[in-house]
Structure formats: C-alpha cells, structure tokens
Amino acid sequence: MGSADGAAEAFDWASAVGALRYAFQPIVQLRSGRCHGYEALLRGFERTSFANAGALLDAAEAAGLLATVETALHAKAVAAYRALAGWSESKLFLNLDARLIGHPDSPWFTHDPAASRNSGIVLELSESRPVASGVAVDAAVDRYRQNGTGIAIDDFGVGHSGLRTLYEARPDYVKIDRFFIAGIDADSRKRGLVAALAGHAHALGIQIVAEGVETATEFYTCRDLGCDFAQGFLIARPRADLTSLPNRYPVVEELNRKDRRQPSESHRRLSEVIERLPPLRANSRKTELLDYFRREGSAPIAPIIDEHDRPLGLIRERDLKRFVYSRFGGELLRNRGLGDRLDDLVIRSPVCDISTPLDRVIEAFSTESAADGIVIVEGGAYAGVLSSGALLRLVHERNLAMATDQNPLTRLPGNAAILRHIEGALADDGRVHVLAYLDFDNFKPFNDNFGFRQGDRAILMFSERLKAWAGSAGASSDADAFAGHIGGDDFFLGVSGGEEGEVLARLAELLALFRSDAESLYDTETRVSGGFLAKDRYGAVRRFPLLAASGVAVVIPPGPHGLTPDAINAAIADHKAAAKGAEDKLCVVRLVHLAPSPAPGEGRGPCGAWEG
C-alpha cells in the first residue's frame, strides 16, 4: 500500500463526521402553509478540513469509505431530527450520493424487517454526481422502497441524466433546481418548462418541490404553475438551533390570504364533482380491504393514505379478483407471512390540488394515467377522487364555455375571457402589463364601399397577425401575451412581463404591418391613389384613406395601484381619437395609481402619463 493509501487510512473520519452538525429547512405545502417535511443540510465544515459536503464525500469515495461515511451521516441526521419535538408529523429528506445507489452497503439498502419505521424518510438522489455504471436504478429504488423510504430527485434539471433518472427512479418527488425558479415570474421559458414538468409529474403521481423560492412573485408563480411544495429563504432559512419543528408556516398562509388571484371558481367546481371516497390507511389489514369492496355500492377503487392523511395511491378492486374469487383467496390475504400491510397492492395515481385551475387539471390529466381517477388533495391532505367520468364532464364544460365565448369568425376569445384577463393582470402587481385596445380607422366606409366579404377578409387578416404576435409572446421571451376579439373591428391584446419599450415597439410594428397587408384588399388604381370615395356617417361623399388600424396601449407598471377594469376602459375611451391621429397610430397611456379623474381637458395629454 502506497503512502497516499496510508494517509487515507490514517485520516480520522469519525472525528470529521463528529465535528459536523445538521440544520433543517422546511418543505412547505404551497396552498396551505402546512409543513410536509424538512431537508437535513450539513453545517460546520469550518471545523473540518473540507470546504463543503461535496469535498467530504469525494474524499471518502477516494478512500473507499463513501458508504461508511454516508451511513454515519444519515444516522447522525436521523438522531438529531428525532430529538426534536414534533418530528413524527413531517418527513425527513436526506441526500444520498448518486454513486451509492444500489451499493450493498448504501444507507437504507439492506433489508430491514421493521421497514415501516422508516416511512418518514425520503432519500434525495442527488444528480451532482453520476450513478455508477451498470447499476439498475429501478431495481435499486425498489429495494429502498421495500425498506420504507420515499424517493426524491434532487436538483432536477442541472445534474447528470435528469430525464433518464426520472424515468428509472419513478420518484415520489421531483425537486426543481433553483436555476429554474430564480426569476421565474419574469421568464416565460422557465415558466413553460416548469409547467410542462408539473403536468407530466402529476399525471404519474409525482409531486413537485420548487427549490430556492426567495420572493413572493416566485412563490405565486410556482404555485400557479402547479408546484406542490416550496423550499427557500422566503419561507425559512436552514436552522441548526431548533428545539421543535413547526407543522405550519404563517408566511405561506399570509401570502395566500393576501393574494387576490386564488382560483376560487376552480376550487368550487372541483369540490362539487369529486367523490369523497373514504380512504384506508396504509397500515390497515388486508382483510379490511376485502370488507371495503364488499360494501354495497362501493367504488371500484380504494384511496390509500399515510398516517398524516397524505395520499399514497389507489388499490383497484380488479387487482384483487385473484383473492376475492379464488377458493383460498381470503386465507391468502389473512396469511401474516405474506405481509399484512397494503403497501404492496398500492398503485401510483395522478395527484392534483383542489385549487388548481380547471384548464390545468384538464390539460395535465386527460391521459391514460387518469383512467382510474385522480386523487385530489387540499392543503396536502387527501380530499377525494376525481373519476374519469367527472373529468370528461369538466372537459365538456370547458369546450362548451370556449365555444360560447369565442368569436365565430376569428375564433379568438370574446368579451368574458378578455375581462378575466384584465382582472388577472390588475391582480398581478409583480410585473408590468400592457393592455391594448385595437380597432380599424374608417372601417364602416370601407365595408360599405367594398362589401362585407372584403370587410371579413380585413378582420381575418388582422386577427391572424394578432394570433401570430400573441403566440410568440410578441414582445420578448419573457412575456406572456393574450389576444381577444371584442367584436366587429375591435380587438384586444394583453401582454404581461417583458421589457416595456420592446413590447410597445413590436405593437407599433404590428399596426404598420397591417397597413401594408391591407393594401392587398384594393384594386391597383385605388392602391396607387392612396384612398377612395365613400359616404360618411352623415351620408356625405368624401375621400377616405386606405384601411389602417390604431390602438391605445395602457401600461400598468409593477406595484400596488388599486386600478379596476372601469379605469382601463375609461383610459381607452379618452384616448381613441389621439391614437387615430398619431403618426404611428399608437397612443401610450401609463396608469400610475388610482386617483380622482381630472376634469375634461385637465391633467392629461393626448398620450403619455395619465392617472385614472
């Protein structure tokens, strides 16, 4: 053995582990403030020769002692956690080095006859290091689960083989890395990725933890995109001086109380259609399951929950037929030697919070994975089951509502959807919003002179431009855009986020492009002359210019303002004439805060700052 090996052997690993201590940071349910668990985080490296946990574990790996050191650290974390009052009410999340996955000496891998005592442990499979080559992750994860632990993927999106690990590990939780959470409220690409991941994960029964939430706007965005839990400095920093573990966090309760965007209609509708099937606890005997399905009028599924009312999945009656209808089925279920808990019969099922917007419920769960129903939770606890039949009813209701509130010519959302968008923008004071009213100049003379078919062509031409603009978030990669059709030649465009100057420049460009497009609606002579003769509203014949569109863009800066939809409408009405007279056909009005409206002609220019 060389000197390097001798130095490794001589190193006092027990003292190094003993010098460290654990801090605990809460993982909290986004809609209720209820604490779901605590992550154990190592502290005290200044008392060792290692800079951080990564350096410690790399050195242990080099010495051939990674499993030994990780096991000692986990034992230390569990002992510290279980010494705190209230520890049994929450789960303990422990990082497991990916190099140890499937290793026979890995913590929690060896068969534990009393595996149920580990049910509060969740192993975070860190992606900062690659899994050892040749390891069957799915088989290893099954061993960990047999020993009572849950599984989470940590730092998802920035480590090694993220999607492959997601596929193979079939985790209970996915923790989205802080990179994707930081500034998510102002980044549409991050929002799109997180929304897609949340929808996919929920369809597989996986719950989402947003890591590193530090601002209220990040909190609201993560919640509204479908994340289940949050962890970060906004809620609480890691603490090593705890004597007890709170099971609720008032900061989250206060954020939800203050938020005016809570989807109460979704909550109400889901409350109406879910079936509140009585659940069974995972520690129930299998004979209780037989009794459950033998009851008159029983459902074909049984929701299974843990000791804290959190859903674990479903048991399907059809999977028990080999027991129910076989001669010795009852005896087999009563055989203690085969295990008396229900865990081995539970299947994963989609999970959805009762306050999730209905559109997101429908988009995420209109898949085969929801064939047996969706488990609905409220505040992280089981609330009921949304059956496949109820889901179809919601789809039908959504489609009917969309068809009712949709312009038959352009297929753009109508007035009800436009009002909802305006109300949502006014309630979201974390971003800049541009709410634009757009209409054609002198459309009636054009329509009267060239006919309704040409008028419809002009409306469709503009609506397609508007759809394309909104579909690409028109303004920038950090903006969300919504296009609507008020009726006739009146349109609406709402943009949230992005850089204000860029949004307005692109809006002016949209109006200019339509002026160019509209030239194709005329014959060559009219196009060359730049106008046409037609009757005005008073019946007098006069000359009108070629068709163009103009718009009033109401800008609402971030921050509290107290504005209402009526204030927006008033600002638009007062500035239509100014927009039609502007060189670029665009009048920009900035609403600063709610104040008494000035008298006509006072306190407001043709365009620019205006307090309404």
Q: Return the number of other C-beta atoms located less than 10 Å from residue 147's C-beta.
A: 22
Distance CA 545, CA 405 (A): 33
What are the residue ranges spanned by the domains of the chain?
Answer: 15-262, 271-399, 411-610
CB 575 within 8 Å of CB 593: no
Cα dist. 514→447, 458, 483, 489, 507 in Å?
17, 9, 16, 13, 11
CA distance 510 to 369: 42
CATH superfamily assigned to domain 411-610:
Reverse transcriptase/Diguanylate cyclase domain (3.30.70.270)
Residue with the bigger pLDDT between 320 and 14: it is 14
> Which residue did the predictor score with more confidence, 307 or 416?
416
Position 598 scores a pLDDT of 42
Element (H, E) at 325: none
- pLDDT greater than 90 at residue 594: no
- pLDDT-derived band of residue 159, with 50, 70 and 90 as boundaries? low
**Per-residue confidence band for 9, with pLDDT thresholds at 50, 70 and 90:** low
Q: Which band of pLDDT confidence, cut at 50, 70 and 90, is reported for residue 587?
A: very high
Label residue 350 by pLDDT band (50, 70, 90). Answer: confident
Q: What is the pLDDT of residue 602?
A: 38
Is pLDDT above 70 for 612? Answer: no
Decide if pLDDT at 437 tops 90. yes
CATH superfamily of 15-262: EAL domain (3.20.20.450)
Question: pLDDT category, 366, cuts 50, 70, 90?
Answer: low
CATH classification for the domain delimited by 271-399, as one of 3.60.70.12, 3.40.50.720, 3.90.550.10, 3.10.580.10:
3.10.580.10
Q: Which position has the higher pLDDT, 155 or 340?
A: 155
Predicted pLDDT of residue 397: 81
Residue whose C-alpha is closest to residue 356's, from 386, 372, 384, 376: 376
Q: For the chain, what is the mean pLDDT?
A: 85
Length of the chain equals 612
pLDDT band with cut points at 50, 70 and 90 for residue 340? low
**pLDDT at residue 551 is higher than 80:** yes
Query: Which is nearest to 68 in space by CA: 17, 10, 5, 133?
Result: 17
- Quick check: 495 and 554 in contact, CB under 8 A? no
- The band of 4, judged by pLDDT with boundaries at 50, 70 and 90, is very low
The pLDDT tens digits for 51-69 are 999 999 999 999 999 999 9
One-letter amino acid of 152: A
